[in-house]
Chains A and B, each alone.
Chain A
Amino acid sequence: DAGVTQSPTHLIKTRGQQVTLRCSPKSGHDTVSWYQQALGQGPQFIFQYYEEEERQRGNFPDRFSGHQFPNYSSELNVNALLLGDSALYLCASSFYDSRLAGHSTDTQYFGPGTRLTVL
């Protein structure tokens, strides 16, 4: 059973460019969350997708956008890259059990991440 996969592993871009990162969730999972981890810090929540819609969003500008496909895979797009966007981008998948809505017990499983360097 494959876990969460992400591509590419590493990426180098220049300021002002656009980038697309991809994530395939763990088998049986329907929810994908994206996190940004700057060097030496804990991951910060960007947004979460469920049923092909953005369900929740963290404190990130509109330059960060995403998409979820019918097969539950997801993309993270970042426009007009800044030097400060250099980070490890982590994708996490989970299964949303509506019977537990409001109890927040679903466990998120992380992929290996994409290391983005902006020059």
Chain B
Amino acid sequence: GNSVTQMEGPVTLSEEAFLTINCTYTATGYPSLFWYVQYPGEGLQLLLKATKADDKGSNKGFEATYRKETTSFHLEKGSVQVSDSAVYFCALISGGYNKLIFGAGTRLAVHP
């Protein structure tokens, strides 16, 4: 079946450090891929998405490239801020209906 695997957290970085959160997936067909972010006590916010192979999604300095050959969608940011501290979820949709399948989430803590 379809599934998403994320690197385990927590990831702890100093401000202005480079961020990578790994995400790999298993899916039939051609899934769409998403990164959502959840700040403490809040719901999920869409961060970025990519709908076909080699697409790059980007938003607020975050980027992720849809790599079909490695079934990956790693999240990157060149310089993190304290305000980026949150839980990040990789997710996919595959098939005719919009059933999102999420990874377990990766907690990011950024210190000044």
Contacts and interface: CB of A to CB of B under 8 A. Distances in A.
A112 B41 CA distance: 8
Interface in B88-112: 89, 91, 93-105
Given A42-B103, A42-B105, 10 more contacts: A35-B100, A42-B91, A56-B97, A58-B99, A90-B43, A101-B96, A107-B49, A108-B100, A110-B43, A110-B46
The 10 closest A-B pairs by CB, nearest first: A42-B102, A110-B44, A104-B93, A112-B43, A110-B43, A113-B43, A102-B96, A56-B97, A105-B51, A45-B99
Interface in B4-51: 4, 30-32, 34, 36, 42-46, 49, 51
A79 B77 CA distance: 44
A56 B98 CA distance: 9
Interface residues of B, number: 28
Contacts of A107: 34, 46, 49
22 contacts: A6-B43, A31-B98, A41-B104, A41-B105, A42-B91, A42-B102, A42-B105, A43-B44, A43-B89, A44-B102, A48-B99, A56-B97, A92-B100, A94-B98, A96-B98, A104-B94, A104-B95, A105-B93, A107-B34, A107-B46, A110-B43, A110-B46
A25 interface: no
A82 B107 CA distance: 28
Contacts of A106: 93, 98
A70 to B, nearest CB: 21
Given A31-B98, A35-B100, A41-B104, A104 B32 contact: yes
Interface of A: 4, 6, 31, 33, 35, 40-45, 48, 55-56, 58, 88, 90, 92, 94, 96, 101-113
Given A104-B94, A104-B95, A105-B51, A33 B100 contact: yes
Contacts of A48: 97-99
A102 B30 CA distance: 10
